[in-house]
Amino acid sequence: MPIIMSDFLFAIDLHKEEVSVSESPKGTNQVHFIERIGRKENEILYAAVSILTAITKAPTIDTTLYKAMDKVCQMVYQKHGSNK
């Protein structure tokens, strides 16, 4: 059976001060909720996802910058998971 890689998707809930983490297996349009991480639990992830969100709100999205920041978010989240 082939290994299906996933991309993690991130969203900020400003009211609850949480990052919502989901995954989407490559090659599909499915999204699966994974967890919510409070700002106090991982300040770096919250800040990184906040920047990623700000990039998407720009009048013109710099895709190179977006992809680089998304990689940062992916790395920070993976590090978070390994520290549990």
- Look at residue 32 and tell me if it is in a domain: yes
Quick one: which of 60, 61, 45, 59 has its CA closest to 12? 45
pLDDT at 56: 93
- Look at residue 1 and tell me if it is in a domain: no
- Look at residue 26 and tell me if it is in a domain: yes
Tell me: pLDDT of 4 over 70.
no
Give the DSSP H or E segment for 20. strand 18-25
For 12-67, the pLDDT digits (tens) are 999 999 999 999 888 888 899 999 999 999 999 999 999 999 999 999 999 999 99
d(CA 78, CA 58) in angstroms, rounded, equals 27
- Look at residue 11 and tell me if it is in a domain: yes
Q: Given phi > 0 = left and psi -120 to 50 = alpha, else beta, which region is 17?
A: left
- Look at residue 10 and tell me if it is in a domain: yes
Quick one: which of 6, 1, 30 has its CA closest to 78? 6
- Look at residue 58 and tell me if it is in a domain: yes
Tell me: pLDDT of 8 over 80.
yes
- Look at residue 19 and tell me if it is in a domain: yes
Tell me: pLDDT of 1 over 80.
no
Question: Domain residues for 68?
Answer: 6-82
Give me the number of domains the chain comprises: 1
